[in-house]
Structure 1
Amino acid sequence: MITKYENVTLYTGTGKKLTRSSLVFNDNRIVAVGEEAARLESEITIDGTGKTIIPGLFDMHLHLGMDGVADPFSQIAADSQTHAAFRHNANAQKQLKSGVTSVRNLGSKWHIDLEYRDAIAAGLTTGPTVYGSGQAIVMTGGHGYPFSTEADGEDEIRKAARATLRAGADVLKLMATGGVMTPGVDPGSPQLSEREMRAAVEEATHAGKTTAAHAQGTAGIQNAVRAGITTIEHGIFLDDETIELMLKYGTVLVPTLAAPYYIVQNADSGAIPPQAVKKAVDCLEAHRESFGKAVKAGVKIAAGTDAGTPFNLHGDFAKELELMHTGGMTVGDIIKSATLNAAETLNADSLTGSLEKGKAADIVVLNQDPEETIHAFRDVHTVYKEGVSVYESEYSAVPVTN
């Protein structure tokens, strides 16, 4: 089936914005864009007047096994493998409906994200494209240890990396520092060493895979960057030296601004573990400042939410984009961070990430132009996954949260 949108605004993901333009796609790929698309005939023609089309979005940091409850660690501990698998699917559907057609899942107990990815690929269910890490690799007692693989020293880390790759991981997730949610650890404190992380990076590189480091404190971020990590997750305490190091190594930042934001916003609920609230409050302003400095310096950014953390719900990807806009990013750069930058980071940009001929027809139709209102990302009209409509709504805006 050949579908054509005409008279529509297009953000290609490459930095281009086309107005009163056209897009043609089939049940798999984009056929043509712009003037070429305008000349082609189609079986279905849709007048896109007033609509805006963007590439399918990537959430580069989430946890499909966590629902955004106040204490997600307790939720994980209570789940059986079967229950956790159903939870992955339920949360992925929420992502898909919000326009997120690709996700990078960074940490699932029992490597369930990898099994879920394979179930989608086998046609057992419909969902976003999943890039999974399986269980994260942490030091003994490190951040997230209750649902991760604990290992110490270069040899143990290397073996854990190889085992995780054998399980089918697309990306290795490593804990370079402490974090907000784990009791008894400091977000600013280094955990896995530079040499330990380098051993895992070497194994991932040999297997043609990428790496991600949970890294909040300055020293731990620097350790991860020097070790060759692909992406820094969170990056709460960035100083000028660390930013220069990231620019030198070409390290990508996935800021996850929504994660501490929602903990602080709900600090008075009484439901979030007190130690997590205190740490999030202590981190929030530094996180905002670090993000602003990284944007101004030109650090490559890929959008991610850390969805699944307290009150950080699946399907609310728009909040991250709104916070990025408040932090100084233009709409064009925000869209690029959530599309082409993400695809490039995953080495998938030849297949997806932009509205270009031959790429996967992962397409989101919005009712409004994000340059007119940043809340347009909440007003999703239609979502196509590889050319097939997986969500349609005449009006599906999510209420704006302040």
Structure 2
Amino acid sequence: MDKLKNIYALLIFIIVIPNSKAQTNNSESTAFTNITLIDVENSKSLENMTIIISDDKITSVFPSNSQQIPTSAEIVDMANHYIIPGLIDGHVHLFANQNRTADLEKLLFSGVTSLRDMGGDVRVYQELNQKIANGSIKSPNIYYSATFFGPEFLVDPRTKFANKGINAGEAPWMRVVHDSTNLKEVISEAKEFGVTGIKAYASISPDLLKVISEEAHRQGLKVWSHAAIFPSKPSDAVNAKVDAISHGVGMIVEQAETVPNSFHNAVRNFIPVQDFENADVLSQDYVDLLQSMKAEGTIFEPTISAWKKVQSKNQDGKMNENKISPKSNMPPAIKLNIPAMNKWVNNITNAAYLNGVTISAGTDFTRTIKWVQDEIRFLVESGLTEIDAIKAATLNNAIVIGIEKTHGSISVGKQADFVILTENPLENIENLRSVKTVYKNGKRYSVEE
């Protein structure tokens, strides 16, 4: 185990974005007065509020002029400004990103203060988190997973790519599991590498999924899964009491009579022939699924961005275009109906929301940046209110990760992770991009004009 911990796959280079800087406050505390607070805990906007931070914590939240501000505090009048919790992208894959350090800094300065990585070489994330902690790179905090899959998935090159120096399927963070696996042991090994959750990915039966979920939860880890884990359906994941399921596309599987055991067979031959265009999200199978998700508290992360071709201004003011690519290294045997798939994901997201399912926001960002601000906008387009879409990328993602007691909203005792905006995001969700300053762990990050 010690030998595994000392293996490093990559040398990370530090790239600094010009014209950006972090500033440290020398006062004992800072009071932001007359600001409009976007309160995601209570789904409302509060005008003329004062938020006081000390070191890395939020110490007071109250209506301006209702309480005395400590004389030692630096007072910053934020009239006509808006404050939201630090954004969280709940689904990224940093390992394949080719400009990792520079992109992490761009994400931080855009308002993203935390990330949930959903599969890769955890040795890279351990090193990144060390550099984040010692201040040598500017980045959101990174929470990461161990990926579990059945033997059928070993044909996928990613099982080798993300565990160099270790046999495929044997790395604690990229593990083959089957009915005879000592789950207590392998989950314990994954936990030693600092993972926050176990991700059930492919070729895991409903019975095995349930046992994985029970043992992971017993050891204090979260359990995350794809909506379809072939041969397991979304309802199998819900019955196994996983904490969150990803990908709206996979929700179509719930109505299928038979489901392939192989992930690659499913991607090549099964998903492309599903009738996304005519599938009815209000049919009994889907309504039963969504009501079960609500009852069990299963969080739904639709990753609307995953299959979209996004054309919008990014944080640098340049056009941001994400190309569509199948979610596998093996191309589909049958052409995918991308417009119908996107419409289906919008519809199932809307149905989940109307049925009271908790929604979280993730982009499935891999090689190039996808902005969670786009995912939030897609959630609004799918029927969420602006404040609930922001909540999906803040408090709800904090719940998915298990950090909701310290992150995800602006309240007393929580970490001072927040974003100050010059425009109201509840009037236009695109105003999330009007970032003036970002605070992470009480430290101020600003981009010079």
Is the 8 Å Cα contact of residues 106 and 173 (structure 1) preserved in structure 2? yes
Alpha-carbon distance between aligned partners in 1 of 2:182 and 2:424, rounded to the nearest angstrom? 46
Query: 1:11 corresponds to which residue?
Result: 38
Q: 2:83 aligns with which of 53, 62, 68?
A: 53
Is the 8 Å Cα contact of residues 29 and 387 (structure 1) preserved in structure 2? yes
Alpha-carbon distance between aligned partners in 2 of 1:124 and 1:209, rounded to the nearest angstrom? 29
Is the 8 Å Cα contact of residues 118 and 145 (structure 2) preserved in structure 1? yes
Which residue type is aligned with residue 227 of structure 1?
A: A
Q: 1:120 to 1:278 in 2, by over 3 A?
A: farther
Matched ranges for 1:104-183 at <5 A: 104-109=116-121, 111-134=123-146, 136-142=147-153, 145-148=156-159, 149-156=174-181, 158=183, 159-176=185-202
Residues 302-360 of structure 1 deviation map (CA, whole Å, 9 limit, x = unaligned)? 21111126x6x24x111000000000001111122222222223332221211111111
Q: How much is the aligned-residue C-alpha RMSD, in angstroms?
A: 3.0
Is the 8 Å Cα contact of residues 22 and 38 (structure 1) preserved in structure 2? no
Query: 2:409 corresponds to which residue?
Result: 354
Is the 8 Å Cα contact of residues 154 and 199 (structure 1) preserved in structure 2? no
Which residue type is aligned with residue 388 of structure 1?
A: K
Q: 1:243 to 1:293 in 2, by over 3 A?
A: same
Residues 44-79 of structure 1 deviation map (CA, whole Å, 9 limit, x = unaligned)? 222212211001111111111233xxxxxxx7xxxx
Query: 1:233 corresponds to which residue?
Result: 246
Matched ranges for 1:279-290 at <5 A: 279=336, 281=338, 283-290=341-348
Query: 1:44 corresponds to which residue?
Result: 74
Residues 76-115 of structure 1 deviation map (CA, whole Å, 9 limit, x = unaligned)? xxxxxxxxxxx54333222211111111111113542244
Is the 8 Å Cα contact of residues 38 and 83 (structure 2) preserved in structure 1? yes
Q: 1:268 to 1:162 in 2, by over 3 A?
A: closer
Identity %: 29
Q: 1:11 to 1:266 in 2, by over 3 A?
A: closer
Q: 1:152 to 1:207 in 2, by over 3 A?
A: closer
Q: 2:442 aligns with which of 381, 387, 391?
A: 387
TM-score (norm 2): 0.72
Deviation of residue 38 (structure 1)? 5.4
Q: 2:360 aligns with which of 302, 309, 315?
A: 302
TM-score (norm 1): 0.80
Deviation of residue 287 (structure 1)? 1.2
Greater share of helix: 1
Alpha-carbon distance between aligned partners in 1 of 2:404 and 2:297, rounded to the nearest angstrom? 17
Alpha-carbon distance between aligned partners in 2 of 1:144 and 1:95, rounded to the nearest angstrom? 33
Query: 2:107 corresponds to which residue?
Result: 95
Gaps of 5+ in 1: 68-74, 76-86, 177-190, 395-402
Aligned to 1:96, the other structure's residue is in SS state: helix
Aligned to 1:293, the other structure's residue is in SS state: helix
Q: 1:137 to 1:348 in 2, by over 3 A?
A: same
Query: 2:237 corresponds to which residue?
Result: 224
Aligned length: 357
Query: 1:20 corresponds to which residue?
Result: 48
Q: 1:46 to 1:267 in 2, by over 3 A?
A: closer
Which residue type is aligned with residue 190 of structure 2?
A: T
Is the 8 Å Cα contact of residues 361 and 384 (structure 1) preserved in structure 2? yes
Deviation of residue 170 (structure 1)? 0.9
Alpha-carbon distance between aligned partners in 2 of 1:348 and 1:24, rounded to the nearest angstrom? 21
Is the 8 Å Cα contact of residues 98 and 378 (structure 1) preserved in structure 2? yes
